[in-house]
Structures are given as structure tokens and as C-alpha cells.
Amino acid sequence: MSQEGATLTRMPLGPDQPRFLSLPDVADVLNISAAQAYALVRTGDLAAIKVGGRGQWRVEAAELELYIQRQYTSTRDYIAAHPWREAEEGDDAPRG
């Protein structure tokens, strides 16, 4: 499931750390809505599987960590391509 060039980092499995997370759990980790977590899965940005007769989505904890690392890389690339400059008078720079 890992992408080319990415290293699959296995999270330690234990009683407090399940291997698979539900979409609401993923949403909690990323601080997004369950609908946004579902969209990440359906667009292929976040690898997931459907399990059980009712087709419940599950995301492997290691895949979630890979997604987070890709987002860090993407953000770093964006920042490098769009260096910060002090806002000039009249600019609508974000304030938050």
C-alpha cells in the first residue's frame, strides 16, 4: 500500500494502539470531519480498506502516518516555492 519512495513505518501495536482506525477515528486524529476523512479515502489520498458485510472503511495506522508525512513534505515544498514576505500596505495577508 505504500507509495514509491515512501517507507512504511510500522506503529507499535499494543492494547492501546489498534492496527486499524475507523473513519471517525481518523477524523479525530486529523481534526477534520468524518466527511472529510471519507473524501480523503475516496479520492485515493489516504489508503483504506472496506471490511465486513456492511463495508465499513478502515485505515491502517501506518497508512495514516504515511499520509501525515506526505502532508508535511507537501507543505515544506509549498513553503519553499512560496517564500514568506512581509505584507505590504494593502495586501490581504492572512492574520491567523
The structure's pTM equals: 0.71
Q: What is the pLDDT of residues 3-15, one digit of tens each?
A: 444 454 445 555 6
48 — phi, psi (to 5°)?
A: -150, 165
Q: With contact defined as beta carbons under 8 Å apart, do 61 and 20 qualify? A: yes
Does 3 reside within a domain? no
d(CA 35, CA 52): 20
CATH number of the CATH domain containing 25: 1.10.1660
Nearest CA to 29 out of 72, 59, 73, 74 is that of 59
DSSP secondary structure, 15-60, as one string: TTB-SEEEHHHHHHHHTS-HHHHHHHHHTTSS--EEETTTTEEEEE
Does 65 reside within a domain? yes
Q: What is the pLDDT of residues 49-82, one digit of tens each?
A: 999 999 999 999 999 999 999 999 999 999 999 9
Does 94 reside within a domain? no
Does 64 reside within a domain? yes
